[in-house]
Structure 1
Amino acid sequence: MSDIYKAPEAQLTTGEESGSYGSLEKGLAGDYAINIGEILSEAWRRTKGNKGTIWLALLLYFVAYMAISFVAGIITGYSAFDLEQQANASAGSALLYSLLVNIVVAPMMAGMLMIGIKIARDEKTSATEIFSYFDKLLPIVVAYILMTILIMIGFVLLVLPGIYLAVAYMLVLPLIVDKGLGPWQALETSRKAITKHWFPFFGFLIVAILLYIAGALPLLIGLIWVLPLLTIAYGVIYRTIFGGAED
């Protein structure tokens, strides 16, 4: 793989119509623009014909999560579905339960993100994409653990560093499965690229939270549109910064 830290060779022209995507080099150089309105507008257009795929993937994710949680509960003696059992369980059991669930769920989360990314790049995808990245289990889990520890340390250090890192690490998982980066390399690539335009990213997350709340208020009905919209919007952002898959 080429040196991801070399200077960019060309200016990035963003936009769905131009077909020009970002790259690792351009992303690290901050050679991209984040326009929340344009991102949501494109994502909304792309929900047409793709909502079913995303919702089927979410359903598969939920069923798998429930099954994983059930098995982890049997192994650890801690259940997320039994309040009495939770009250009697040790802290060690609760920690082991959380670790087991998150280890198995992390590759599925990466798959969910890749569905949005592939839709944004006009690539073929399906709901079963969420099960496609268990071969990357080790780097995903290592990155997840490192990211969690660093964000927790950041929140302990006056909160603001934790908020900074929580936003800066939002592109870590696809960098591992899409670009083939190692855990620390993915963490640093995401952080350095997002730091160039950190406040627009923070603004997007605020807007995403507000859209989620608005969609959930009318008996959750609005989430039928909001969740596919936000999934694809994430993909549009990733594509704008880092472009297509590595050859």
Structure 2
Amino acid sequence: MSDIYKAPESELTAGEESGDYGSLEKGLAGDYAISVGEIISEAWGRIKGHKGTVWLGILLYAIAVGVITFISSLITGYPAFNPADAANVTLTSSLLHQLIVTALSAPLVAGMLMIGVKIARDETVSGTEVFSHFDKIVPLVVCNILMSILIVIGFMLLIIPGIYLMVAYILAIPLIVDKGLGPWQALETSRKAVTKHWFPMFGFLLLCLLIYIVGGLALLIGLIWAIPTVAVAYGVVYRKVFGAGPENA
């Protein structure tokens, strides 16, 4: 019987890089280091000349989600832009609306994450990257559903398992679009790799949250730098753990 938790052997040797690049094989073995200070410092240096790219991606993402939400509200009758009337709609309408928005937004989220990843890998990228992964919509949606269910179950089991999974699954989405893994393979590959250095990864996510908070406190002006920095920092972490895409391996 095959091991369903194991990433494909053909992919495990893909993307083996020297220096600061990981690979699937190295990630699963825990052969990488997470130095939070170095990651944020590198991300800060890399946003020079790339803030516009990140913010264009955010703008396109926001517009696309708004259009998706509007169209879904027309189809389902759910008053997405008037929450006060939400109590008057059926449960079926509400669930269908959420399903449509979540499903069609999944590739957009993947695109936003890949902007940071590609900047971290010195690859050519533009804000339109948010529209580049609709060919992976099915595995992305399945991954999001599985992730949500498992994290909710984890929180029901005395909270700590839920926190563990929230951190452990943090790299799953790029693994689908960047490495071509299936939903369950991506979740398990991310979990196994992150578990090797779970506490440093947890610390990294806490620092990212702090950067957002500090940026927001500065009359929101600080977010001009904070959001691109965190986006690229995420990309740096992904690069350190899983390396380049198959096309660059």
TM-score normalised by the chain length of structure 1: 0.92
Higher relative contact order (CA 8 A, sep 6+): 2
Please list, as runs of the form range in 1=range in 2, the aligned pairs for 1:9-48 lying within 5 A after superposition: 13-14=19-20, 21-48=21-48
Q: Tell whether 2:200 aligns with 1:200.
A: yes
Inter-partner Cα distance in structure 2 for 1:138 and 1:4: 20
Please list, as runs of the form range in 1=range in 2, the aligned pairs for 1:77-96 lying within 5 A after superposition: 77-96=77-96
> 1:52 maps to what in 2?
52
Work out the percentage of aligned pairs sharing the same amino acid.
61
Inter-partner Cα distance in structure 1 for 2:17 and 2:227: 32
Residue 72 of structure 1 and its aligned partner are, at CA, apart by 1.2
Q: Secondary structure at the match of 1:22?
A: coil
Q: Which amino acid aligns with 1:110?
A: A
Whether the 8 Å contact between 2:171 and 2:238 is mirrored in structure 1 is yes
Whether the 8 Å contact between 1:12 and 1:31 is mirrored in structure 2 is no
> 1:167 maps to what in 2?
167
Inter-partner Cα distance in structure 2 for 1:79 and 1:37: 45
Inter-partner Cα distance in structure 1 for 2:62 and 2:233: 21
Q: Tell whether 2:63 aligns with 1:63.
A: yes
The 10-residue stretch of structure 1 (115-124 or 84-93) with the greater mean CA deviation from structure 2: 84-93
> 1:139 maps to what in 2?
139
Q: Secondary structure at the match of 2:246?
A: coil
Q: Which amino acid aligns with 1:102?
A: T
Residue 77 of structure 1 and its aligned partner are, at CA, apart by 1.8
Q: Secondary structure at the match of 2:233?
A: helix
> 1:18 maps to what in 2?
none
Q: Which amino acid aligns with 1:178?
A: D
> 2:237 maps to what in 1?
237
> 1:183 maps to what in 2?
183
The number of aligned residues is 239
Whether the 8 Å contact between 1:69 and 1:79 is mirrored in structure 2 is no
Whether the 8 Å contact between 1:172 and 1:186 is mirrored in structure 2 is yes
Q: Secondary structure at the match of 2:96?
A: helix
Q: Tell whether 2:128 aligns with 1:111.
A: no
Whether the 8 Å contact between 2:107 and 2:134 is mirrored in structure 1 is yes
Inter-partner Cα distance in structure 2 for 1:90 and 1:117: 41
Inter-partner Cα distance in structure 2 for 1:110 and 1:60: 13
Unaligned runs of 5+ in 2: 1-7
Residue 12 of structure 1 and its aligned partner are, at CA, apart by 6.4
Inter-partner Cα distance in structure 2 for 1:108 and 1:99: 15
Deviations 1:157-181 (A, max 9, x none): 1111111111111111100000000
Residue 22 of structure 1 and its aligned partner are, at CA, apart by 0.4
Residue 13 of structure 1 and its aligned partner are, at CA, apart by 4.0
Unaligned runs of 5+ in 1: 15-20
The 10-residue stretch of structure 1 (74-83 or 116-125) with the greater mean CA deviation from structure 2: 74-83
> 2:3 maps to what in 1?
none
Deviations 1:170-217 (A, max 9, x none): 111100000000111001000000000001111111111111111112
Q: Tell whether 2:219 aligns with 1:224.
A: no
